[in-house]
Amino acid sequence: MESIIKVIGAGPGDPEFLTAAGAAALGQAETIFAAGRLLKTFGREDQELIALESDLKAAVRRILERSQDKRVAVLVSGDTGIFSFAATLADHLPPHRLEFIPGISSVQLMFARLKQPYQDVAVISRHGREDPRLTAMVRSGLTVAVLTDSQNSPQTLACELLESGCGDRPVSVGSNLSYDDERIYRGTLTGLRGYPEKLPNSVVVVGV
């Protein structure tokens, strides 16, 4: 019998930030699909743990196959609703086959660390993708939160914005949020451009 596929937001990384609803759904799953890092953190030995691969359509097929006779959970980083594999599942599967259980996103945690609201903030991703809107958003005066990766590092974004004539705006960076080596940088784009240390797994907030 087909089971409902539970898509769970894991939060920013530390298991303490997994919601109670997410933990309950994860605990009931017989098979978990997730990135390797999440499987290592959240999976149990008595569960079937399957790493998600880069071929997302193939991953959807495998998830469907397993859900024919297993209780399946798909664990995604952060929240299900923001730049997540959950969007691919929603595009390929009918709504009655899915249940989304939201999590705490890295953007939410970053603004909590900054002690600032974020209801008027624009959020874009440069994690594994390009988004040409960044410069125009910053020039317009918006506060912009950017998810980054190793190619689009905080320092690289600072260079891009300064070279585009955006001015020396205030900027904050949250690196490895929720982990023991979490780091918060606060300064300006000029200072960030010359910052000598790597800031991996970062959320960059331009305008705060």
**Per the structure block, which two tokens stand in for 40?**
């290592």
Q: What is the pLDDT of residues 105-128, one digit of tens each?
A: 999 999 999 999 999 999 999 998
Total-model pTM: 0.92
Residue 176: Cβ within 10 Å count: 17
CA distance linking residue 72 with residue 75, whole number of Å: 10
DSSP 7: E
Q: What is the pLDDT of residues 135-169, one digit of tens each?
A: 999 999 999 999 999 899 999 999 999 999 999 99
Distance of CA 62 to the CA centre of its chain: 23
Domains of the chain: 5-104 (3.40.1010.10), 107-206 (3.30.950.10)
**Per the structure block, which two tokens stand in for 25?**
């759904």
Q: Buried b vs exposed e over 122-145: b needs ≥16 C-beta within 10 Å?
A: bbbbbbeeeeeebeebbeeeebbb
Q: Which of 150, 160, 142 is nearest to 200 (CA)?
A: 150
What's the pLDDT score for residue 181?
Answer: 95
Look up tokens 């990766």; give the residue.
149
What's the pLDDT score for residue 1?
Answer: 64
**pLDDT digit string (tens) for the chain, length 208 residues:** 678 999 999 999 999 999 999 999 999 999 999 999 999 999 999 999 999 988 989 999 999 999 999 999 999 999 999 999 999 999 999 999 999 999 999 999 999 999 999 999 999 999 988 888 999 999 999 999 999 998 999 999 999 999 999 999 999 999 999 999 999 999 999 999 999 999 999 999 999 9
Taking 3-state DSSP, the helix, strand and coil percentages for the chain, each rounded to the nearest 5, stand at 35, 25, 45
Q: Is 18 helix (H, G, I), strand (E, B) or coil?
A: coil
